[in-house]
Chain A
Amino acid sequence: MQAAWLILGNDLRQRSRDRSIWIMAIAAPLALAAVFALTLPDVNQGIDPPRWVVVDEDGGTLANLFTAFALPIAADGLEATISVVEDRAVAAARVADGTYDAGFVVPAGAGDTGAGPVVEVLTVQGRLIQSLVAEAVARAFAHGVEQVLVATAAAEELGASASELQAVPGIAFATALPATIVEVPAADRVLDLTTFLSAGMAVMFLFFAVPFGVTSLLEERSMGTLARLRVAPVPAWSILAGKVATSLVIGVASMGSLILATSLLLGASWGDLLGVASLVIAGVVAAVSLVGVVAAVARTPEQASVAQAILAIVLAMFGGVFFPVSQGPGLLRFLSLLTPHAWFLRGLGDLAVPGATAADVAGPVGMLLAFGLGGALMSALLGRNRILAP
């Protein structure tokens, strides 16, 4: 066992000298988190309150109804900015210069049966989400107006009083606006977006970090030092154990750095510390083991490097790092379960439930360790005659 520690210490010293350990365990995770912090600055801040401008060209009650009633309902829960201007051109200019997200014009004669559109929408190309929201609000209002007209006509037919007829629009709009903006509290989500992105990035990065240990066997073979290790009076397994330990240390260090950096820079909430630690260690074991399969079959360090990059990307794709496979077809969802990435993300999702502890991730941790065991067996089977051959 002492030989394994010596080999671990020797590997870490070499990785420190060539700076690769500092790059993989600290610099790269910090850089990744910093890039994410710059590109996704408000990803965890929720939805910005909408800023809308309204033009009343009709001068009737419909515009008042839209401004005072329909828009606040649509912006339910958010402090929307709703301004009214006189001129369509002014509104369009304000939307164009970004003062407002979108504009609504209630044209003259709006609401008259068959007179044309009830509300027109002013949007700017490139602001897709704001445009879609504004269009949905306008469609819902138009639908509401139609319902009001139908409801009012029906109430008149039934002999409703004047005060009852006045209440009809409110009742109709209260049930007719399906498009409202609602902020879901983070605690109720399976995994918030920042943490999902951070976790995906971390588990993919792991497959680039851990090869430093196990594939250094290939480098040692090409340098001739593997023969020296094999001639030393130490059991062969201790050489392998030292290399695996190097991968484990680098993997855990890089994951730890990423978790710390994304928590501090992005506000990612990873969940219960013990649960996260269990997932990280199990994930690193799985990654080391699968990378070990590559080391077992590759003939040169260069060949291993290419194969590991392909493995990392393919597993990340099917594991749901780049897009949520849970919303994909059944086959894709099934394939994702064959990757450690999916189980790692699933485990973090389990930890995102309020009050979740390490016990709640026993399933994903077990699956990750199973990947580790499977990879180790496969490595032993494929590389039994050559992984330590000098």
Chain B
Amino acid sequence: MTEKDIEKLIEKSLLGELTLEEEESLSRTLVDKPDLLKKWEDLKSIACLAAEAKAVEPPADLTARVLSRLSEAPRSRLAAVREFLFRPRTANIDLVKAFSGNVSRPECSFYYLMGGLYYLVISLILMIGLNKLDPRWAAVTWIKLQPCISLITALWLGAMGVALLRNGQTAIRVAYSGSLALIGFFVLNGIVIHLTAEFPIALVFLFALVGTGIIGGLFLLRIVYNYRKCYAAT
């Protein structure tokens, strides 16, 4: 066995890749090679010394310090939005309970978001449907504005839902006064439609457009009122 072969076996031995046969062969060979035997023993000794080194204990409060710094973790805006939208949330939806007393933050937000979704659908229906109606309808400016009004309402309710989810006192105040304003606006909207349209309008249409808005607004007003009480109690 050449010196190079022995060196190779020593390397394999240190890396823990020596077979039993090779190990026996190496031990036999090294008897006649004191320099290489010394090297082998030195390297094994260093490896043992390092492996036996006592581990250093990290400071006891390290975990607490890491957790307190988590908010500093640099995150992209996209990641923050994605986390906000897709983070699972628990919301027990109980309409009766919400109307009569306790409303949780996610639940209150949920009703506003649902209201927004409802008006988004209404605005789409109006955008598509108005063109196919009697030309007399399309001539009335205020009626032409109804899809936009519904879309703005949808956006406003959606924004309120998100703001309430973030649990701000200001969001509660804005949602409360905004719901009141919404009811007022729907009453006004019904009156303006009635006055500007110079042709008979079926009561069912007026109720669908205005009545649902008023009922929905009253419902949201009650919900946010109850949530405000719960928020103040905490």
Bound pair: A and B?
Answer: no
Using CB atoms and an 8 Å cutoff, list the residues of chain A in contact with chain B. Answer: none
